[in-house]
Amino acid sequence: MCFFSATKSERDHKTQKAAATEARVDVAPTPKAPEMVSTLGQGMLITGNIVCAGSVQIYGRVVGDIHASQLVICEGAKVEGKVIAPETVIKGTFNGTVHSNIVKLQSTATVDGEIFNKSLTIEQNAQFEGVARRLDTPVSAPSSAQAKGEDVAPALAPLSAQMSDIVV
């Protein structure tokens, strides 16, 4: 037992620990920024196009095109137009065309139109009248530049390209 200094083996052990700690730079995992969710409230009517790099929840009414990373049309909401989103969940009423990798029609959904998808889930009691087709190319979310309005035209360009391929 030594009161004044550590033994040689303890000093070596402490030196190795210090070296390991120094070699391991304090790289704390950077916390992922919480995704922003844009919400259009009940009683709100939007006429026009919506481009959002994040998620969009709609409780009101939208007449126009929507391009987002995720879209939820909530119960009681009504949307008319074209939708482009990697993931779309419909609980309310939708009339138009959906281009989405994953489409989920919840039991309260009423959909009239076309659904272009990679994966389609229709719950019991959901109402769907229209056509469901397989997507050839996956849908991507809009870039932040598109969402800022700096480059809006390409946000809806995939839809235009896919629509031109459709022969009625």
Quick: pLDDT tens for 95-143.
999 999 999 999 999 999 999 999 999 999 999 999 999 998 888 888 7
Which pLDDT value is given to residue 47?
A: 95
Q: Is the pLDDT of residue 37 over 90?
A: no
DSSP 76: T
pTM of the model: 0.69
112's enclosing H/E stretch is strand 110-122
Which of 95, 79, 76 shows the shortest CA–CA distance to 68? 79
Among all chains, which residue has been given the structure tokens 């844009």? 38
- Tell me which long-range contacts 75-81 makes (C-beta under 8 A, separation of at least 24): 75/106, 75/108, 76/42, 77/42
Query: Where do runs of H (alpha helix) occur along the chain?
Result: 8-23, 144-147, 153-164
| pLDDT attached to residue 82 | 97
- pLDDT at residue number 36: 79
